[in-house]
Amino acid sequence: MQFRRERRMSRETGADVVRLPAFGCRSYHVGRCLYEEQLNPGLNTAWHCLVLSKWEGVYDDFLNRAENFGLDEKELARLWRLRFERLAEEAIDCQDFVPALAEAMPECRHLFVDICLLRLPECHGHCKNYRLHTKA
């Protein structure tokens, strides 16, 4: 992975300043900045994975229909399992989808929890929000 170096002039001294990479920052992940997402998880819906958003809509519609038919939990689980199997076999409708060997669904290299990393802002290195990643 190539890190983009940012050069700028210091206001105080007039010297060139090179911003250091943000490796080790708790908001840094694969070249993207998670800071805003960590402050307000899920707030920016533009960052959500398009495939997961579609699947959530299908599930909500399924639950509404199931409620109208008065299905019990066992029947609901059986029907959803069948519906989800068909849904997961459909073609992924996302131009940024890159297959990955992952346990998450959809198995996309850019999926991080429920957001698409490509939709997050790029990390430009150490900034005022830089916080060292600590072990818990």
Q: What percent of the chain has pLDDT over 90?
A: 46
Within this chain, do residues 22 and 81 fall inside the same structural domain, yes or no? Answer: no
- For residue 89, give its domain range: 50-118
- Integer Cα distance of 54 and 23 in angstroms: 33
At 99-121, the pLDDT tens digits run 887 676 788 899 999 999 999 99
| pLDDT for residue 70 is more than 90 | no
Within this chain, do residues 99 and 76 fall inside the same structural domain, yes or no? Answer: yes
Within a domain: 7 = yes
Within this chain, do residues 82 and 94 fall inside the same structural domain, yes or no? Answer: yes
At 71-82, the pLDDT tens digits run 889 999 999 999
Within this chain, do residues 99 and 126 fall inside the same structural domain, yes or no? Answer: no
Within this chain, do residues 83 and 24 fall inside the same structural domain, yes or no? Answer: no
Within a domain: 43 = no
- Integer Cα distance of 17 and 95 in angstroms: 37
Strand pairing partners for 25?
132
Q: Which two tokens stand for residue 52?
A: 């997961």
Within this chain, do residues 54 and 114 fall inside the same structural domain, yes or no? Answer: yes
Strand pairing partners for 34?
none
Within this chain, do residues 80 and 101 fall inside the same structural domain, yes or no? Answer: yes
3-state secondary structure of 107: coil
Q: How many domains does the chain divide into?
A: 2
Model-level pTM? 0.72
